[in-house]
């Protein structure tokens, strides 16, 4: 357990990160964002980790920023203080996208404000049937942060993205699943188990190839085709002549399941 409410648990090749402040619905403070960022960056460099599950303790995923503490900043601290607070969430968004390891959000209850932004920043989402996602920012007179507008605009049709962000309309897991944002919907209380099982399956695969593929998908959003083709070619050759390619090709020829990890 790290300080200030982030639990790190290893399940074989899966790292589970738990935002652990259930009394406040796991609302984010800068230290929490920082701990998650550092954990994700360590996971990037740890060959023993093949996938990450991010979840909240108790009944909810994350209520976003701590509004009470934000109000205190507004009342008595300079604008630079809020810049620093948001910068911590921004670094978390960069870490989610920057780690080579797939990150699965396990969502129960509410994912609101920055909690919704963080969930969108993950590579995959497993959500309970009862989960509710809300871009709640306009309710307190501010715009989204933590990449919320960037992720939402790329994940959903424009009119639906506008509706969720401009009106703070809550979105159900079923609605987001219908638009391909939530990957798997499970009964309430089962999101963690489903996410861990899926993460274990992914972590048993070709970790380096998966990491390169994640990077290519990330870069491909804004890349021109010619540059993306070059990146794919470079990555393909790297994998083919590396140990994962050796095992993958051998398993195919020998008609057996590949064993990428001992």
Question: What does the pLDDT read at residue 207?
Answer: 97
Residue bearing tokens 């009944």: 59
* Angle ∠(10,34,220) on CA atoms, nearest 5: 80
pTM: 0.94
* Phi, psi dihedral angles at 64 (to 5 degrees): 90, -150
Measured CA to CA, the distance from residue 94 to residue 41 in angstroms comes to 10
Question: What does the pLDDT read at residue 255?
Answer: 97
- All domains of the chain in start order, with CATH: 6-203 (3.90.226.10), 207-253 (1.10.12)
Q: Which residues of the chain are modeled with pLDDT < 70? A: 1-4, 75-77
Helices 114-121 & 79-98 angle (0-180, nearest 10): 20
For 54, half-sphere exposure in the C-beta direction (CA atoms, 13 angstrom radius) is: 31
Kindly report the number of other CB atoms within 10 A of residue 71's CB atom: 11
Q: What is the pLDDT of residues 99-158, one digit of tens each?
A: 999 999 999 999 999 999 999 999 999 999 999 999 999 998 999 999 999 999 999 999
Beta strands in the chain (DSSP E): 6-11, 14-19, 51-56, 103-107, 110-112, 124-128, 132-134, 171-172, 184-186
Question: What does the pLDDT read at residue 2?
Answer: 42
Measured CA to CA, the distance from residue 168 to residue 146 in angstroms comes to 16
């Amino acid at each position: 357990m790290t300080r200030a409410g982030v639990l790190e648990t290893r399940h074989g090749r899966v790292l589970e990160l738990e935002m652990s402040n259930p009394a406040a619905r796991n609302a984010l403070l800068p230290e929490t964002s920082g701990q998650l960022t550092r954990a994700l960056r360590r996971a990037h460099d740890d060959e023993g980790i093949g996938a990450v599950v991010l979840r909240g303790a108790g009944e909810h995923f994350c209520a976003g920023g701590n509004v009470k503490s934000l109000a205190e900043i507004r009342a008595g601290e300079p604008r630079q203080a809020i810049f620093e607070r948001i910068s911590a969430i921004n670094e978390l968004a960069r870490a989610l996208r920057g780690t080579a390891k797939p990150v699965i959000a396990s969502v129960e209850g509410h994912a609101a404000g920055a909690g919704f932004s963080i969930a969108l920043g993950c590579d995959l989402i497993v959500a309970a049937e009862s989960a509710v996602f809300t871009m709640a920012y306009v309710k307190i007179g501010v715009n989204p942060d933590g990449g919320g507008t960037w992720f939402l605009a790329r994940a959903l049709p424009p009119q639906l993205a506008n509706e969720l962000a401009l009106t703070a309309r809550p979105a159900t897991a079923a609605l987001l699943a219908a638009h391909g944002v939530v990957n798997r919907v499970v009964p309430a209380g089962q999101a963690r188990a489903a996410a861990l099982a899926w993460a274990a399956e992914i972590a048993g695969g070709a970790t380096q190839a998966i990491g390169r593929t994640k990077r290519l998908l990330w870069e491909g959003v804004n890349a021109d085709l010619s540059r993306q083709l070059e990146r794919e070619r470079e990555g393909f050759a790297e994998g083919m002549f590396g140990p994962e390619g050796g095992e993958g090709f051998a398993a195919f020829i020998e008609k057996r399941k590949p064993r990428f990890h001992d």
